[in-house]
């Protein structure tokens, strides 16, 4: 014994000493490792990464990315916080790492990415995630949304632009494509902070379509008012993709709204529609307007119009032939995409892994979105009835004290939890070791040496 500590309740002192046994606080990560092994994740990453080792002592690039995943799963939100696993021998062995990289190794690794290598690396990896999705007769809904990542420094692309919470603060303005029914991030771009929401949206949509195989058919595109741009709407119409896009209440649209005759369809809800052609539009489009009466729905969050007090208004432009109220309800399902973006920020630290170099930051963001898809697929493989956020998984599954030991020549990880937790863990593990991934997954054909 090297020291004693009196407990806060004043009872008998507790001795304090040290052990050289390999101990971890994240023994539950063994379940994710079993899942990743069934996916052959290490081999897939090794095949996708284009970097060539220049030293026999260098850490292989795919192991750096695996260590990055392990750090994020353990709760790291910054490059410096990845050191939480630096001395964690059990996690190092579980993930098959030669050594756990230093913070400098992580930052140097991501700084190697260029615009070309970001695309070459992550396009097949995201395509593999999408290809593993099951076929749906009704197809998939694609939700487009952007977010704001505040920056505090002089990072490339961190510019002043739309920032509703911290006006004037430099930021990045990433663009996300989410397959709503599968909770899968199909694609992501990092963009400069002064970029409008719809800028590059047509090219972005083309890349998303290229990533989706034939059995993952897109049958609807939803987007917020940032994408209320005729060039983007024409792109959707050219590709014959049905869409619902929120409309911006410009002055001409407000004037048109005042002339509408609304009909009720639910308590406090009324709907109307019109053929609307905005200024500089080449054609008229179907526009649906819903208004909420504040007296019956005091928490309504739509647009308040000066000439119509007591109401909040919503408007969407669409090509769907459904009744107006059905279109509105279908569009409201897009709100769940906001939960995906919040989880990326607050559970995965998507806005925290920032480098001075733009493409390094984009590579880190795409890696985190890839990990998000893996965590979703992990829960799907476990067949859990309710999806949990990564923050909840850390507490209920991954956080588990464990000691790495040996029985004869076999390494043994001894987990310390209650018997009921142990039984659930063994049930999950048995399911994962017999789980068969979808064979539609696209894997890069050749590994880079």
125-136 residue pLDDT tens: 999 999 999 999
Whether residue 1 has pLDDT greater than 70? no
Q: Residue 183: which region, alpha, beta or left (left: phi > 0; alpha: psi -120 to 50)?
A: left
**Strand 218-223, strand 243-246: pairing:** parallel
For 225, half-sphere exposure in the C-beta direction (CA atoms, 13 angstrom radius) is 10
Q: Residue for token digits 């070791």? A: 433
Closest CA to 45 of 22, 13, 68: 68
Whether residue 439 has pLDDT greater than 80? no
Specify whether the CB–CB gap between 181 and 136 falls below 8 A: yes
Closest CA to 82 of 401, 413, 366, 368: 368
Please compute the mean of the pLDDT values over residues 181-205 and round it to a whole number.
93
Please compute the mean of the pLDDT values over residues 251-280 and round it to a whole number.
94
Please compute the mean of the pLDDT values over residues 379-395 and round it to a whole number.
93
**Strand 311-318, strand 3-5: pairing:** unpaired
DSSP state of 35: H
Residue percentage of the chain with pLDDT more than 90: 82
Whether residue 446 has pLDDT greater than 50? no
Number of neighbouring beta carbons within 10 Å of residue 188 = 23
DSSP state of 189: E
Highest-scoring range by mean pLDDT, 1-10, 68-77, 432-441: 68-77
Whether residue 90 has pLDDT greater than 50? yes
* Predicted local distance difference test score (pLDDT) of residue 164: 80
Rg of the chain (C-alpha set): 25
Provide CB contacts within 8 A for 436, sequence distance 6+.
38
Confidence of residue 449 (pLDDT cuts 50, 70, 90): very low
Please compute the mean of the pLDDT values over residues 35-64 and round it to a whole number.
93
Burial degree of 5 (CB within 10 A; 0-12, 13-18, 19+): exposed
Closest CA to 441 of 35, 137, 130: 130
Whether residue 315 has pLDDT greater than 70? yes
Whether residue 441 has pLDDT greater than 80? no
Whether residue 384 has pLDDT greater than 90? no
Whether residue 154 has pLDDT greater than 80? yes
Specify whether the CB–CB gap between 45 and 65 falls below 8 A: yes
Please compute the mean of the pLDDT values over residues 75-80 and round it to a whole number.
95
Please state, in angstroms and rounded to a whole number, the distance separating the CA atoms of residues 59 and 82.
16
Provide CB contacts within 8 A for 50, sequence distance 6+.
117, 120, 121, 448
Whether residue 327 has pLDDT greater than 70? yes
For 240, half-sphere exposure in the C-beta direction (CA atoms, 13 angstrom radius) is 1
What's the token pair of residue 345?
């920020």
Provide CB contacts within 8 A for 333, sequence distance 6+.
141, 180, 222
Phi (first) and psi of residue 188, to 5 degrees: -155, 140
Please compute the mean of the pLDDT values over residues 284-288 and round it to a whole number.
97
* Predicted local distance difference test score (pLDDT) of residue 20: 86
Confidence of residue 280 (pLDDT cuts 50, 70, 90): confident
* Predicted local distance difference test score (pLDDT) of residue 444: 39
Confidence of residue 437 (pLDDT cuts 50, 70, 90): confident
Please compute the mean of the pLDDT values over residues 272-296 and round it to a whole number.
94
Calculate the CA dihedral of residues 410, 411, 416, 420 and round it to 10 degrees.
-50
Average pLDDT across the chain, whole number: 92
What pLDDT, in 10s, does the model give residues 36-48? Answer: 999 999 999 999 9
Specify whether the CB–CB gap between 5 and 16 falls below 8 A: yes
Lowest average pLDDT, out of 27-36, 276-285, 299-308, 435-444, goes to 435-444
Per-residue exposure over 167-187, b if at least 16 CB sit within 10 Å of its own CB, e if not: eeebbbbbbbbbbbebbbbbb
Please state, in angstroms and rounded to a whole number, the distance separating the CA atoms of residues 53 and 40.
21
Confidence of residue 448 (pLDDT cuts 50, 70, 90): very low
């Amino acid at each position: 014994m090297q020291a004693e500590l009196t407990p806060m309740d004043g009872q008998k002192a507790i001795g304090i000493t040290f052990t050289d046994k390999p101990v971890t606080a994240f023994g539950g990560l063994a379940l994710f490792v079993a899942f990743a092994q069934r996916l052959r994740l290490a081999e897939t990453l090794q095949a996708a990464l284009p970097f060539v080792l220049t030293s026999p002592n260098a850490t292989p690039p795919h192991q750096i990315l695996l260590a990055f995943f392990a750090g994020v799963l353990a709760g790291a939100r910054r490059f410096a916080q990845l050191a939480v696993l630096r001395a964690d021998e059990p996690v190092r062995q579980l993930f098959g790492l030669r050594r756990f990289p230093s913070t400098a190794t992580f930052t140097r690794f991501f700084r190697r990415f260029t615009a070309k290598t970001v695309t070459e690396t992550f396009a097949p990896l995201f395509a593999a995630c999408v290809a593993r999705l099951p076929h749906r007769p009704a197809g998939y809904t694609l939700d487009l949304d952007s977010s704001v990542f505040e920056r505090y420094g002089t990072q490339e692309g961190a510019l002043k632009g739309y920032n509703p919470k911290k006006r004037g603060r430099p930021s990045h303005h990433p663009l996300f494509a989410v397959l709503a029914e599968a909770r899968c991030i199909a694609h992501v771009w990092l963009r400069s902070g002064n970029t409008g929401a719809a800028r590059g949206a047509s090219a972005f949509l083309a890349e998303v379509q290229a990533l989706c195989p034939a059995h993952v058919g897109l049958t609807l595109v939803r987007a917020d008012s940032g994408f209320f741009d005729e060039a983007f709407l024409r792109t959707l119409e050219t590709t014959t993709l049905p869409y619902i896009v929120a409309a911006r209440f410009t002055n001409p649209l407000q004037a048109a709204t005042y002339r509408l005759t609304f009909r009720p369809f639910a308590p406090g809800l009324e709907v109307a529609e019109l053929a609307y052609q905005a200024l500089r539009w080449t054609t008229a489009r179907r526009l649906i307007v819903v208004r909420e009466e504040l007296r019956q729905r005091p928490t309504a969050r739509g647009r308040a119009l000066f000439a119509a007090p007591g109401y909040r208004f919503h408007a969407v432009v669409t090509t769907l032939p459904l009744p107006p109220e059905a279109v509105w309800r279908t569009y409201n399902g897009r709100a769940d995409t906001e939960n995906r973006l919040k989880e990326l920020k607050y559970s995965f630290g998507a806005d925290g892994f920032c480098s001075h170099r733009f493409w390094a930051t984009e590579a880190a963001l795409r890696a985190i979105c890839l990990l998000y898809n893996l965590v979703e697929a992990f829960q799907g493989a476990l067949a859990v009835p309710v999806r949990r956020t990564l923050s909840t998984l850390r507490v209920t599954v991954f956080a588990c004290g464990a000691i790495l030991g040996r029985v004869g020549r076999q390494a043994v990880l001894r987990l310390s939890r209650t018997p009921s937790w142990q039984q659930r863990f063994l049930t999950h593990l048995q399911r994962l070791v017999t789980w068969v991934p979808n064979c539609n997954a696209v894997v890069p054909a050749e590994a880079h040496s």
